Amino acid sequence: MLIDGAAIAAEREKKVKLWTAEMRFYKTAPKFAAILVGNDPASELYLQRKDAQAREVDIEMVSVQMPSGASIEQVIAQIRQYNADPSVYGILVQLPFPSGSPPDQARRKILDEIDPAKDIDCLTSVNIGALTSGQPRFFPATVKAVLTAINAGMGNGAQMVDWKQVNGRWLSGKTAVVIGQSEIVGKPLAVALMNMGATVVSANEWTQELKSLTRTGDILISAAGVAGLVKSDMVKLEAMVIDVGMNRTERGVAVGDVDFAAVSNIASAITPVPGGVGPLTVISLMENVIEAVRNAQSTIANKK
C-alpha cells in the first residue's frame, strides 16, 4: 500500500480552507510568522513551500530573514516582537541554524523565547515537556505528519484525528522503531508513540546491530537523513515503513532514507519521497496555526 501523503494533504487542505473561511467571516485573520537565520538554500525552499501552502488555505505568513552573523540578542528581539503582536498567532524559527551559529545552550535560549502559546512547531522546553508528560499543547508538525501517515497505513485514509485525544491503546502491542534522535523529529516522535501505547526502539545510523533492531519493528520510521540507509533486509515482513528522510543525490534528485524500490516489495505500507511525509508536514503546520488561533480565542473568552 502506497501512503500518498500529497493526496491526503490535499483532502486535509479542504478542511483547513473551511476553518479559515469561518474565522475570516467572524473577523479573525489567521497569521503566523517565520524567522530564518542565514541563507541556507534548503531552509529557504522549505519556507517557500510553507508560504505557498499558507496562501492556498488563506493563512497569512510573514517572514524575516536575518543574516548568518545575527547575534543571539537580535534573534531574540525579533521573536519578542512577534510575541507581543496580537495579530500573530504562531511563530516558527526555521531550523537548523547556519553552521558556526550559537552552541546548543544559546540555541535553546533562543527557542525558549517563543511564547509557548505561539510555538506552533513545539520547539520550546515548555511545550516539549508538555508533550513528554502526555499533555501536549501542539504536536510538532513532522510528528503529526508521521502519525497521520501511520493512520493512513492502517486503512483510514485522510481521516482527521485529534491526536490529543488518542490514548495509550491506539498502538498497544505494536513495536515502533525510530531511526534518528533529533530534537525536531526523532525524540518527540518516540515520546508521542510511547504515549500512544507503542513499544518504542530509538536508534540512530551508528547504532550497533541496527539491522537486528529494525527487523523487530511493526512500524519502522527513518528520520536519520541518510540516503538509502534502510535496505530491504532491515525490514520485518509486512511492516509499515515511514520515510521522513529528505536527501539529495549528486544529481540533485530528492531521495529518502529508505531504498523504496526494494523495501516496497516487503512492506505492508510505505511512504514515498517526495510526496509522502513532506506534504503532510506542511499541512500539519497550517492545522497547528488554526489550533493556535482557537486557543487564543478561548483564552480571551475565559478572561471576559
Co-location of 177 and 56 in the same domain: no
Co-location of 92 and 210 in the same domain: no
What is the Cα–Cα distance from 135 to 145, expressed in whole angstroms? 18
Specify if 204 maps to a domain.
Answer: yes
Task: Answer with the one of 80, 115, 150 that is the final residue of a domain.
Answer: 115
- Residue 203 is given by DSSP the state E
pLDDT tens sequence across 229-269: 999 999 999 999 999 999 988 888 889 999 999 999 999 99
- Domain ranges, residue 84: 27-115
At 96 the pLDDT is: 82
- Cell representation of residue 193: 508513540
Co-location of 193 and 101 in the same domain: no
Co-location of 92 and 152 in the same domain: no
Q: Which residues of the chain have pLDDT under 50?
A: none
Co-location of 35 and 70 in the same domain: yes
Specify if 224 maps to a domain.
Answer: yes
Co-location of 86 and 145 in the same domain: no
The most distant pair of C-alpha atoms in the chain lies apart, rounded to whole Å, by: 60
At 103 the pLDDT is: 61
Cell 500500500 identifies what position? 1
Specify if 211 maps to a domain.
Answer: yes
Co-location of 98 and 212 in the same domain: no
3-class secondary-structure state, position 54: helix
The number of domains in the chain is 2
Specify if 10 maps to a domain.
Answer: no
At 287 the pLDDT is: 97
Co-location of 54 and 152 in the same domain: no
- CATH code assigned at 216: 3.40.50.720
Q: How far is CA 91 from CA 94, 176, 285, 292, in A?
A: 10, 31, 11, 10
pLDDT tens sequence across 109-141: 999 999 999 999 999 999 999 999 999 999 999
At 100 the pLDDT is: 60
At 304 the pLDDT is: 62
Specify if 291 maps to a domain.
Answer: no
Specify if 238 maps to a domain.
Answer: yes
At 188 the pLDDT is: 97
Specify if 58 maps to a domain.
Answer: yes
Co-location of 106 and 146 in the same domain: no
- CATH code assigned at 80: 3.40.50.10860
Specify if 288 maps to a domain.
Answer: no
At 174 the pLDDT is: 98
Q: How far is CA 181 from CA 66, 145, 184, 213, in A?
A: 28, 17, 8, 15
At 41 the pLDDT is: 85
Co-location of 42 and 95 in the same domain: yes
